[in-house]
Chains A and B, each alone.
Chain A
Amino acid sequence: EAGVTQFPSHSVIEKGQTVTLRCDPISGHDNLYWYRRVMGKEIKFLLHFVKESKQDESGMPNNRFLAERTGGTYSTLKVQPAELEDSGVYFCASSPRVGFAEAFFGQGTRLTVV
């Protein structure tokens, strides 16, 4: 069974440009989470989908970030326009259902804004 996969693994963009990150969760997992780790600090929650619905987006930093999960399968996280402080590693995680303890993480996308 394939794990959580994220694309791209690395992205370097200039300030002001747009970047879209993609996450393919484990097949059948209703819950999809986005997290971010900035500059060696803690991994911080961004948002949570249950199927195609946003359950909790309290961690989204500002309106330059837009997450979607059309059809309840893969998800995209768009940053537009990117700023220097958006640099970091973006992780996606999935779990089968609400209340299921373990979350399975992807390998992350390292975003560098220059």
Chain B
Amino acid sequence: GENVEQHPSTLSVQEGDSAVIKCTYSDSASNYFPWYKQELGKGPQLIIDIRSNVGEKKDQRIAVTLNKTAKHFSLHITETQPEDSAVYFCAARPLLRSGNKLVFGAGTILRVKS
């Protein structure tokens, strides 16, 4: 089955700096890679996702890159702000397989210091 590794477990950056979180996956059949942000007291919320037919996707200050050959994908946050502080989870899933369950990484606690 799929296994997702996420690094680092914690990340502290100064406001305005960039933050990068990296994930690797094991199942080559996975073709959908979402990133979720979980703020205190709330559930995980999708912030960006990428499918395996695309190498990079960007949405304002957030971007995700995917390397299918190496089986890793990364989240990039530029010009970080205090409200970016949260726990970030990467996940992987084979879209067309029945069940569609997500396999998550262990999460990264991001702290943006002002």
In the assembled complex, A70 has its CB within 8 A of some CB on chain B: no
Chain B residues contacting A48 (CB-CB under 8 Å) are 99-101
In the assembled complex, B73 has its CB within 8 A of some CB on chain A: no
Q: Which one of B44-52, B64-72, B77-85 is at the interface?
A: B44-52
On chain A, which size bracket covers the interface?
A: 20 to 34
In the assembled complex, B11 has its CB within 8 A of some CB on chain A: no
Per-position binary interface string of chain B over residues 34-70, scored 1 when its CB falls under 8 Å from any chain A CB and 0 otherwise? 1010000111111001010000000000000000000
* In the complex with contacts A4-B43, A105-B44, A99-B102 CB distance below 8 A: no
A103 touches which of B4, B6, B102, B105 (Cβ 8 Å)? B102
Which of B85-114 touch A at CB < 8 Å? 89, 91, 95-96, 98-107
Number of interface residues of B (CB under 8 A): 27
In the assembled complex, A107 has its CB within 8 A of some CB on chain B: yes
In the assembled complex, A74 has its CB within 8 A of some CB on chain B: no
* In the complex with contacts A101-B34, A102-B34, A105-B45, A55-B107 CB distance below 8 A: no
Q: Given the complex of chains A and B, what is the CA–CA distance between A10 and B33 in angstroms?
A: 30
In the assembled complex, A42 has its CB within 8 A of some CB on chain B: yes
Q: Given the complex of chains A and B, what is the CA–CA distance between A106 and B44 in angstroms?
A: 8
Question: Closest CB of chain B to A75's CB: distance in Å?
Answer: 15
Q: Given the complex of chains A and B, what is the CA–CA distance between A56 and B97 in angstroms?
A: 12
Q: Are A107 and B43 in touch, CB under 8 angstroms? A: yes
In the assembled complex, A108 has its CB within 8 A of some CB on chain B: yes
Q: Are B100 and A95 in touch, CB under 8 angstroms? A: yes
Q: Given the complex of chains A and B, what is the CA–CA distance between A43 and B45 in angstroms?
A: 13
Q: Are B41 and A107 in touch, CB under 8 angstroms? A: yes
Chain A contacts to B: CB under 8 angstroms: 4, 6, 31, 33, 35, 40-45, 48, 55-56, 59, 91, 95, 98-99, 101-108
User: Would you list the 10 A-B pairs with minimal beta carbon distance, nearest first?
Assistant: A105-B43, A56-B99, A43-B104, A45-B101, A42-B106, A107-B43, A105-B44, A42-B104, A106-B43, A108-B43
Chain B contacts to A: CB under 8 angstroms: 4, 6, 32, 34, 36, 41-46, 49, 51, 89, 91, 95-96, 98-107
